[in-house]
Amino acid sequence: MKIEILGTGCPKCKQLYENTKSAVEQAGVEAEIVKVEDISKITDYAVMMTPAVVVDGVVKSSGKVLSPEEIKAFLQ
């Protein structure tokens, strides 16, 4: 599983990255977590608001910081 955190490095983006790491650990799944800060790559996903979560190429959320519990729902 590949999880991408889209964002330019703002505090919300960093928090979402940490929440995602926590969710992966709690769910006990294997996942590669990647920060994507390149604006052109972010716009390739048609994301207008960051931070965003992309799981295996599918945008699951944008514009808000999800809790670890909300992220775990995508990982099941």
Active-site residue list: 10, 13
Residue 23 φ then ψ, to 5°: -65, -40
| Cα-based distances in Å from 44 to 24, 48, 57 | 25, 10, 11
What are 34's strand-pairing partners?
4
